[in-house]
Structures are given as structure tokens and as C-alpha cells.
């Protein structure tokens, strides 16, 4: 069993598959923190606000493809692990192309009953890579928490006049620009 806490984004549109995948993950990860989405816009927000350790994605989604998910993830963090769990990749050439384009692996949904066995070595690899990035990841998460706390504080300030409201807005813009310049938010 993997003892490390793992932040996992699951990109899946089928509710039954979400349930089954979560159940299989719980068999091999003692502390999974799983967020689910089925679209690119929410996925982008999760990359920024949730900071996943790994992305598990279906290949065929209603409004995008697994390749769109992979490209977006790699734009955000080139080292992020992405594993396809899909029924779509039956073509060996397509499967090879997903690996060549940066996927860490793929598992066919027809193996859902033994998903934990197939997923376990891939998630162990994620943990090994994660350990080397822990300090940096914690610093980024702490920075994001601090920024959110500052935003909350600014929102609570009693802004009775237009000048105070403008000053608060300028502070928020400066924080956002600082984060963009330092690569914390994309």
C-alpha cells in the first residue's frame, strides 16, 4: 500500500467509472485526495488550485480528448505524471503515441477489475518522483495558501470609499502579476 498522500485529478465523464476507479485507488493508496472533472476548463483550475501529483484521464471525453488534457497538464508542469485509463486506446500505434507524447502509462478499462494491480506500479513511480520534489511542492502550496489568505483579508477590509476599493484592487493585481512572473499561476 502507498502510504504517501496523493493529490489525484481524475478526468472522467462516466459516473460509474469514476466510482470504480476511486474504489480501486483506495485499495492501493492509503490517503488519496481525488478531484474529478470532465472538462478542460475545470481541469485548468484544478491544476492551479489543487496542485495534483498525478492525473488519471479517460481518452475520449465529451468536449475534449485525452491529448488535450495531456497538453494542458504538460504546459502547466512538464513533470506532471499522466496516466490514461480508457476504453478507447485499442490501437497499439495510438497507445505508443500517447507514451511518446508524454503519458506515463495507459490502462484499458476492460481491466477495471484488476485496475489496482495495473495502477500500483505507475503510482509508485509517481511517489518516487514526488519525494524529490516535496520541498518545492510544499513551498508552492504554502505560497498559494498565503496568497489566498491575503485575498480573503483584502475582501474583509471595510472599503467605504472608492480610493480604498481601488487600492485593494491594485494590491490584488500586483499579487496576481507576481505569481504569474514567478510561474506559480498560469
CATH number for the domain including 56? 3.40.50.2300
68 shares a domain with 7: yes
Residue 55 burial (C-beta neighbours within 10 Å; 0-12, 13-18, 19+): buried
pTM of the model: 0.70
Burial class (CB in 10 A: 0-12, 13-18, 19+), 83: buried
Range of the domain at 176: 137-181
Is the residue at 186 inside a domain? no
Domain count, the chain: 2
Is there a contact between 116 and 25 (Cβ–Cβ < 8 Å)?
yes
Say if residue 69 is in the same domain as residue 153. Answer: no
Residues 146 and 127 in one domain: no
pLDDT tens series, the chain, 186 aa: 999 899 999 999 999 999 999 999 999 999 999 999 999 999 999 998 998 999 999 988 999 988 899 999 999 888 899 999 987 656 666 677 777 788 888 888 888 889 999 999 999 988 887 776 667 777 777 787 788 778 777 777 766 677 777 777 878 888 887 777 765 544
One domain for residues 129 and 145: no
Q: What pLDDT was estimated at residue 185?
A: 45
Report which DSSP code applies to 12.
-
Indicate if 142 and 167 belong to the same structural domain: yes
Asked if residue 52 lies in contact with residue 11, where contact means CB atoms within 8 angstroms, the answer is no
Return d(Cα 62, Cα 31) in angstroms, integer.
30
Amino acid at each position: 500500500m502507498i502510504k504517501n498522500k496523493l493529490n489525484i485529478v481524475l478526468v472522467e465523464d462516466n459516473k460509474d467509472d469514476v466510482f470504480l476507479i476511486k474504489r480501486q485507488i483506495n485499495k492501493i493508496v492509503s490517503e488519496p485526495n481525488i478531484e474529478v472533472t470532465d472538462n478542460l476548463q475545470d481541469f485548468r483550475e484544478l491544476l492551479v488550485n489543487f496542485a495534483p501529483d498525478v492525473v488519471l484521464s479517460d481518452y475520449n471525453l465529451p468536449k475534449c480528448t485525452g491529448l488535450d488534457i495531456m497538453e494542458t497538464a504538460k504546459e502547466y508542469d512538464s513533470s506532471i505524471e499522466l496516466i490514461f485509463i480508457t476504453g478507447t486506446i485499442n490501437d497499439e500505434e495510438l497507445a505508443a503515441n500517447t507514451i511518446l507524447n508524454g503519458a506515463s502509462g495507459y490502462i484499458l478499462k476492460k481491466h477495471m477489475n484488476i485496475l489496482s494491480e495495473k495502477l500500483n506500479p505507475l503510482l509508485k513511480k509517481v511517489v518516487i518522483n514526488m519525494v524529490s520534489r516535496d520541498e518545492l511542492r510544499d513551498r508552492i502550496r504554502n505560497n498559494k495558501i498565503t496568497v489566498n489568505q491575503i485575498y480573503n483579508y483584502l475582501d474583509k477590509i471595510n472599503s467605504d470609499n472608492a480610493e480604498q476599493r481601488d487600492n485593494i484592487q491594485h494590491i490584488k493585481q500586483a499579487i496576481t502579476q507576481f505569481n504569474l512572473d514567478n510561474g506559480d499561476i498560469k
